Amino acid sequence: MQIINASKEICTQLFHLCENLKKDEYSHCSSLLLGSSIGKHMRHIIEFFDILREGSELGEINYDTRVRSIQIENEPLVAKERLALILAWLEESSVNKNLSLYLNFDQDSGAVKQVKSNLMRELAYNLEHAIHHMALIRIALNQQFPHVKVDANFGVAYSTIRYNKDQCAH
C-alpha cells in the first residue's frame, strides 16, 4: 500500500539519520530551529507515530496526549528503538481501520472534539507532518552538520519530488 510504503521510507530515513548523528549533534539547540534541536523534532515526529500506533489498537487517537519524552530528544539510540517499533508496526499494518480522532484547537478551553477518521488518513497526515519537520531538520543539517549525509529527498514532499522530476524531463 502506497501510504504504508512511503511511511516506512520516511521512518527508515529518520532511523539512518539517528545512526549518522553524534549524540551532541542530535541534541544541539540551534537558532536555525528557533532554539530547538534535531532531537526535539525527531521526538515530535516519533511521538505522533506512536500515538497513531497505540491508538489504532483502541480505535481512538489524540495527538495532544503525547508524552514529550526527554530521552527521545537527547538520545539517538532511544529514537532508533522507537523508530524500529514503528517500522515493525508498519510492516504488520495492512487493514484500514475506522478511528475516532480527538482534538482541541481552542487556546482557552479544554473542550475536546471528536472527528471520524481512519488509519490510512492518519498515516497520510503523519507522513506529511514528518516531512515538514524533516525539512526543518535538513536546514540545520546543511548549515551546522554538512558532513552528515541524508537521502537527496530527505524533507521533500512527494508532490515536489514528482514536480522536480517532471521539470528535469522537459
Model confidence at 1: pLDDT above 90? no
What is the tens place of the pLDDT at every residue in 101-140? 999 998 888 889 999 999 999 999 999 999 999 999 999 9
Instruction: Return the pLDDT at 166.
Output: 85
pTM here is 0.94
Confidence of residue 170 (pLDDT cuts 50, 70, 90): confident
* Least confident piece of the model among 5-9, 18-22, 108-112: 108-112
The structural domains of the chain, ordered by start, are 1-59+66-96+119-169 (1.20.120)
Confidence of residue 160 (pLDDT cuts 50, 70, 90): very high
| Mean pLDDT of all residues in 21-45 | 95
Instruction: Return the pLDDT at 39.
Output: 98
| Mean pLDDT of all residues in 16-38 | 94
Instruction: Return the pLDDT at 74.
Output: 98
Instruction: Please state the three-class secondary structure of the chain as a single string.
Output: CHHHHHHHHHHHHHHHHHHHCCHHHHHCEEHHHCCEEHHHHHHHHHHHHHHHHHHHHHCEECHHHCCCCHHHHHCHHHHHHHHHHHHHHHHHCCCCCEEEEEECCCCCCCCCEEEEEEHHHHHHHHHHHHHHHHHHHHHHHHHHCCCCCCCCCCCCCHHHHHHHHHHHHC
What is the tens place of the pLDDT at every residue in 52-104? 999 999 999 999 999 999 999 999 999 999 999 999 999 999 889 999 999 99
Instruction: Return the pLDDT at 169.
Output: 82
Instruction: Return the pLDDT at 96.
Output: 95
